[in-house]
Amino acid sequence: MSKHVLVIGAGFAGLSAATSLAQRGYQVTVLEKNEGPGGRARVFRAEGFTFDMGPSWYWMPDVFEQYFARFGHRVADFYDLVRLDPSYAVIFGDNDFLDIPAAMPAIRAMFEQLEPGSAAQLDEFLRQAAYKYEVGINKFVHMPGRSLLEFADPRLLVDAVRLDVLQSMSRHVRRFFKHEKLIKLMEFPVLFLGATPENTPALYSLMNYADLALGTWYPRGGMHKIVEGMVQVAQQQGVKLEYNQEVQEIRVENGRATGVQTAAGFRPADIVVAGADYHHAEQQLLAPQHRHYDEKYWDSRTMAPSSLLFYLGVNKRLKNLRHHNLFFDEDFGRHAQEIYEQPQWPSKPLFYASLPSQTDPTVAPEGCENLFLLVPVAPDLADPEKTRERYYHLIMDRLERLTGQSIRDAVIYKRSYAHSDFVADYHSYKGNAYGLANTLKQTAILKPTLKSKKVSNLYFTGQLTVPGPGVPPSLISGQVVAGEIFKEYSID
């Protein structure tokens, strides 16, 4: 008889783990506390608008293709993928906009115009980044990070040197470029998704390769279309998904998880995979004697940013905005400092605006716009309505001025989302949005382990363990955990 696996959480990592295990013959049930799948990538609809609640950038299209190919599918079986051109816009100030084109010749010309000689520098930068992407995404991120012996192969040590894990992203970028706009452009992926460029290994220039070479894409209908496709594949493989089933406890006897307790009763299992927030699963669902880490350990971790989000329905069409827009009209370094070094609400925040209705008319009523605003902020901050409203007007003041139009008077739907919502919906540690920052001390085997060292059949997956934060890494995380279970537990 095959082993029964209970997966806690129907986010990207949980669905990936569940589907990969079911394909190999395990009986798999996913228990999700919320009313539907997706985790941070859930969707909601209001007054004719369709809002993706979390991820809005579709990078690394090859990772999604590889995922669905494992189950005999293509991305095109589930959604129509469109490459954005321009990929996004960067706003540096009044009448100072920079469109980032999709085609590499146009990107090179843009670099050369800003800094003569930088096109050749970009070629070399991306040549190195392509190597990092190939090795990092196709080799290193698939390692479970459980032992140094995983890196004992001399070829891997050579790779590690070429991956620039000991050089900072900040220093690496400045070796190639001098123009401040180009520096900001090359550093932005790590600021929004991890840590300061000074504390992020240059390995993560692979993100620039994903950005500039592989491109920025959009699934028509929204990012939740990815989740819908994953759910279809999971069900085809025999996975059972149950919603509104919050796990209250992981039961352990003689060092083994026997199952989980929900409000509806006890659910027995041979193996448990926690795809929910790692800190919550370990510190709240396990009794103290079964926890590998303590609160001191978790408090010492460097978290990636949280986010203040606004979902806005606008009853007119907007001008001077692309699908993705990065507002870097304030001090880049100061905002990073207020996230990572002196955590506080930022004095003059950077922010991001997404206008998916520019690409996809299905996400808003005719003649209207779907506007999503995001402010990266430090985790573990109080977020009362008064604070949220103050930042709404601060951001809207700049958005209206920089794009030359009134917007607030046309907003017919508005919802905010911040720290306390992340905690309530996802049990997110300190209200973080992205997981652990990608610092050197939180890479590979230095991340929280994917297998419990106290409970022999308990595993963890998602953004707080290997390989790290982001949608593609979460997809991979689920596959890595499934592979470890397959190696350790036969299905007979």
Distance CA 126, CA 151 (A): 25
Task: Give the bridge partners for 94, in sequence order.
Answer: none
- Residues in contact with 457: Cβ distance below 8 Å, sequence separation at least 6, in sequence order: 256, 257, 270, 271, 272, 489
Asked whether the beta carbons of 491 and 25 are under 8 A apart, the reply is yes
Cβ atoms of residues 302 and 469 within 8 Å:
no
List for the chain the helix, strand, coil content (%; round to 5). Answer: 45, 20, 35
- Listing DSSP states for 426-471 in one string gives H--GGG-SS-B---GGGSGGGSPPSB-SSSTTEEE-STTSSS-SSH
Q: What pLDDT is recorded for position 250?
A: 98
List, in sequence order, every residue forming a beta bridge with 371; answer none if it has no partner: 312
In contact, 483 and 185? CB cutoff 8 Å: no
Domains of the chain: 4-40+221-300+436-488 (3.50.50.60), 114-214 (1.10.405)
| Length reported for the chain | 492
First to last CA, the chain: 5
User: For residues 482 and 20, is the Cβ–Cβ distance under 8 A?
Assistant: yes
List the pLDDT tens digit at each of the 492 positions of the chain: 689 999 999 999 999 999 999 999 999 999 999 999 999 999 999 999 999 999 999 999 999 999 999 999 999 999 999 999 999 999 999 999 999 999 999 999 999 999 999 999 999 999 999 999 998 888 888 888 887 666 656 555 556 667 888 899 999 999 999 999 999 999 988 765 567 888 888 989 999 999 999 999 999 999 999 999 999 999 999 999 999 999 999 999 999 999 999 999 999 999 999 999 999 999 999 999 999 999 999 999 999 999 999 999 999 999 999 999 999 999 888 888 888 888 999 999 999 999 999 999 999 999 999 999 999 999 999 999 999 999 999 999 999 999 999 999 999 999 999 999 999 999 999 999 999 988 888 988 899 999 999 999 999 999 999 999 999 999 999 999 999 999 999 776
Closest CA to 227 of 31, 46, 19, 426: 19
Give the span between the Cα atoms of 335 and 89, in whole angstroms: 19
Token representation of residue 408: 């607030």
**DSSP assignment string, 215-283:** --EEETT-THHHHHHHHHHHHHTT-EEE-S--EEEEEEETTEEEEEEETTEEEE-SEEEE-S-HHHHHH
For residues 191 and 327, give the distance between their C-alpha atoms in angstroms, rounded to a whole number: 13
Task: State the burial class of residue 458 (Cβ atoms within 10 Å of its Cβ: 0-12, 13-18, 19+).
Answer: buried
In whole angstroms, give the CA distance from residue 111 to residue 118. 6
CB contact set of 192 (below 8 Å; sequence gap of 6+): 305, 352, 376
Helix (H, G, I), strand (E, B) or coil at 331: coil
Contact 39/14 with Cβ under 8 angstroms?
A: yes
Encoded tokens for 220: 């028509």
pLDDT of residue 151: 62
CB burial string 275-299: b at 16+ within 10 A, e below: bbbbbbbbbebbeeebbbbeeeebe
Q: In angstroms, rounded to a whole number, what is the distance separating the alpha carbons of residues 72 and 229? A: 13
d(CA 236, CA 358): 34
How much is the pLDDT for 335? 86
pLDDT for 464 = 96
Q: Can you give the pLDDT at residue 192? A: 58
